[in-house]
């Protein structure tokens, strides 16, 4: 199993001592090579789940395992990507992609070779010497993906990586991410607000309740073309899946 959550609860205590439960008793697992999305209302603890997987926080209760090992701190088994690209503005694209390799005692030439390979993988050929501010938002996210892939993590965590992009760029980028991820066979956990995106890109979708977040539904997406969301998009079943998610999130009741 690539990723396991065993009855994980996370509480935050603020300065005045009041505690807030962000996620409550969450259990799920992700198979190797699987693409799982997590959807849920804002503030329900989606990013918290990601941070615990990345080892940025420890769960208050329960266990998080990556490849069977408990997560004890930030580590290179998981690569994460946020809505912000987190590229270093003072480095050009290729050295940004090398960033994750630098603490590994890898030779300079090997690093460069690895980074250039990922750069091509993410369709950024010819931009290696550009600086982040010279790239479009979509290209910057691709560079961030290349940096994440360069460290060859066991799991890729994506926290709304497309939400800052315009509709067209988003579709193209979802397609290129899906292709690249399918090609590398990486296990992926995608956090998103966008129900359509979840259906287009995943093998499975976890639906979280309002805070404190707990899993209210698990939907298996039985559709082909996981590596090409643009192809999935035109399938009539996509609407049905989205409607199911809609129901689980009780959006209609909330609107009433």
Partner 1 sequence: MARYKTTLASATLLVLVLAAWEYLPTALEVPKFIIPTLSDCLVELQRMWAYEQLLGHTLSTALFTVLGFAIGSLMGAVIGYLLGMSAFWEKVLSPYILALQIAPKVAFAPLFIMWFGYNSMPKLLVTVLIVFFPVLVNVLQAMRTVDRDLINLARAYNLSRLGIFFKVEMPSTLPNLMAGLRIASTLAVIGVTVGELVGGNTGLGFLISYGGGQANAAMVFDAIVLLTVIGFVLYSALVRIEDRVLHYLPKAEQ
Ligand X SMILES: Nc1ncnc2c1ncn2[C@@H]1O[C@H](COP(=O)(O)OP(=O)(O)OP(=O)(O)O)[C@@H](O)[C@H]1O
Element (H, E) at 59: none
| Mask for 180-209, x = binds ligand X (CB under 6 A) | -------------x----------------
CA separation for the pair 149, 184 (Å, rounded):
9
How far is C-alpha 220 from the chain's CA centre? Answer: 18
User: Binding string, 135-174, against ligand X, x = CB under 6 A?
Assistant: ----------------------------------------
Hey, how many other C-beta atoms are within 10 angstroms of the C-beta on 192? 22
Q: Shortest Cβ distance from residue 77 to ligand X (Å)?
A: 21
- DSSP assignments along 53-88, one per residue: HHTSS--SEEEEEETTEEP-S--TTEEEE-SS----
Closest residue to Mg ion: CB criterion: 47
Ramachandran angles phi, psi of 137, nearest 5°: -55, -40
196 binds, among partner 1, Mg ion, ligand X, none (CB under 5 to 8 A by kind): none
Helix axes 137-150, 108-121, angle to 10 degrees: 130
Q: Which of residues 30-89 bind ligand X (CB under 6 A)?
A: 42-48
> Mind giving me the DSSP string for 122-133?
TT-TT-TTS-GG
Residue 22 partner contact from ligand X, Mg ion, partner 1, none using kind-dependent CB cut-offs of 5 to 8 Å: ligand X
Q: Which is nearer to partner 1, 48 or 175 (CB)?
A: 48
Q: Which is nearer to partner 1, 92 or 244 (CB)?
A: 92
Residue 76 C-alpha from the chain's centroid:
15
According to DSSP, the residues that pair with 9 across neighbouring strands are 61
Q: Is residue 95 classed exposed, middle or buried when 0-12, 13-18 and 19+ CB atoms within 10 A define those classes?
A: middle
99 binds, among partner 1, Mg ion, ligand X, none (CB under 5 to 8 A by kind): partner 1
Which of the choices partner 1, Mg ion, ligand X, none does residue 12 contact, using the CB cut-off of 5 to 8 A by kind?
ligand X
Cβ neighbour number for residue 172 with a 10 Å cutoff: 13
Size of the residue set binding ligand X (CB under 6 A): 12
Footprint of ligand X on residues 93-112 (CB under 6 A)? Answer: none
**Helix ranges, 31-122 (H):** 46-54, 93-98, 108-121
Task: Give me the residues that bind partner 1 (CB under 8 A), please.
Answer: 54-56, 73-76, 78-80, 82, 84, 86, 88-91, 99-100, 102-104, 131, 133, 151
Q: Which is nearer to partner 1, 158 or 221 (CB)?
A: 158
Q: Which of 111, 140, 170, 211 binds ligand X (CB under 6 A)?
A: 211
What is the closest distance, in whole angstroms, from the C-beta atom of residue 45 to Mg ion in the complex? 9
Which spans of this chain sit near ligand X (rule: CB under 6 A)?
Answer: 12, 20, 22, 42-48, 193, 211
């Amino acid at each position: 199993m690539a990723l396991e959550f065993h009855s994980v609860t996370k509480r935050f205590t603020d300065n005045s001592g009041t505690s807030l439960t962000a996620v409550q008793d969450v259990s799920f697992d992700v198979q190797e090579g699987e693409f799982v999305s997590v959807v849920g209302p804002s503030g329900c603890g989606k990013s918290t789940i990601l941070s615990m997987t990345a080892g940025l926080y420890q769960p208050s209760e329960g266990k998080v395992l990556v490849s069977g090992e408990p997560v004890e701190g930030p580590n290179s088994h998981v690569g994460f990507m946020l809505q912000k690209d987190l590229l270093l503005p003072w480095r050009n694209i290729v050295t940004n992609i090398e960033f994750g390799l630098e603490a590994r005692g890898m030779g300079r030439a090997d690093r460069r070779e690895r980074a250039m390979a990922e750069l091509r993988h993410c369709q950024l050929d010819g931009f290696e010497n550009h600086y982040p501010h010279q790239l479009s938002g979509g290209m910057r996210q691709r560079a961030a993906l290349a940096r994440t892939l360069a460290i060859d993590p066991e799991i890729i965590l994506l926290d709304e990586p497309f939400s800052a992009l315009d509709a067209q760029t988003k579709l193209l980028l979802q397609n290129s991410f899906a292709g690249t991820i399918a090609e590398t066979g990486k296990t992926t956990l995608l956090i998103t607000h966008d129900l359509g995106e979840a259906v287009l890109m995943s093998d499975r979708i976890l639906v979280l309740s309002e805070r404190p977040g707990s899993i209210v539904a698990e939907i298996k997406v039985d559709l082909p073309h996981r590596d090409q969301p643009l192809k999935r998009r035109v399938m009539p079943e996509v609407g049905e899946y989205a409607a199911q998610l809609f129901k689980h999130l009780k959006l209609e009741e909330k609107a009433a």
